[in-house]
Structure 1
Amino acid sequence: MDIKEMNFKLVAILQDWDPFNMGEEAYDTEIADVVQAVHDMHHPSDLAKRIQAIYEFSYEQWIPLQECIKISYKLLAVKMEASCTI
């Protein structure tokens, strides 16, 4: 899987997540920021805290860290899958 395909998968996961029930197209800016964070981070809890901060900054609403950790594991699994393919 190349970077472009990985990014598409990450975006699809984040669109499906929809933490504030606003519809999948409500989070374009946040999704872009989270995809970048996935590329930069490797630990689920660090990524989860970054995800929480990104969405809180934009929407002034707090997402429980446990929810962010769940999504961070999904995102990092895609990243690992992409790095393991030849």
Structure 2
Amino acid sequence: MNTQKMNMTLLDMIQHWDPLGYGSDAYETEAVDVLQAVHECDAIKPLARKIQAIYEFSFEEVIPLEKCMKIAEELLKVKNEAECTIN
């Protein structure tokens, strides 16, 4: 999987995640921020904390860390699988 396809897959996953129940189209800005965080983090917990902070900043609601860790794990799995095929 090339980098562009990986980014599209990650962005699609992020945009369809609806942690606050506002509908998946409510998180466009946050999705881009989370995508950037995925590229900056290689571990689940630091990524989960960044995801939690991104949504808390925008919506002033805290998503439980467990929810953030689940999506972080899924995102990093795609990233790691893609990096294995890119190299």
Which category of TM-score, normalised to the shorter sequence, fits these structures?
Answer: over 0.9
Query: What percentage of residue pairs aligned between the two structures are identical?
Result: 52
Count matched residues: 86
Q: Partner of 2:42 in structure 1?
A: 42
Regions of 4+ moved over 2 Å: none
Task: Flag structure 2 segments of 5+ consecutive residues without an equivalent.
Answer: none
* 1:1-80 equivalence runs, <5 A: 1-80=1-80
Provide the C-alpha distance between the structure 1 equivalents of 2:7 and 2:50, rounded to a whole number of angstroms. 18
Task: Flag structure 1 segments of 5+ consecutive residues without an equivalent.
Answer: none
Q: TM-score, normalised to structure 2's length?
A: 0.94
Provide the C-alpha distance between the structure 1 equivalents of 2:71 and 2:83, rounded to a whole number of angstroms. 19
Q: TM-score, normalised to structure 1's length?
A: 0.95
> How large is the Cα RMSD of the aligned pairs?
0.9
Provide the C-alpha distance between the structure 2 equivalents of 1:57 and 1:3, rounded to a whole number of angstroms. 28
**Secondary structure of the equivalent of 1:42?**
coil
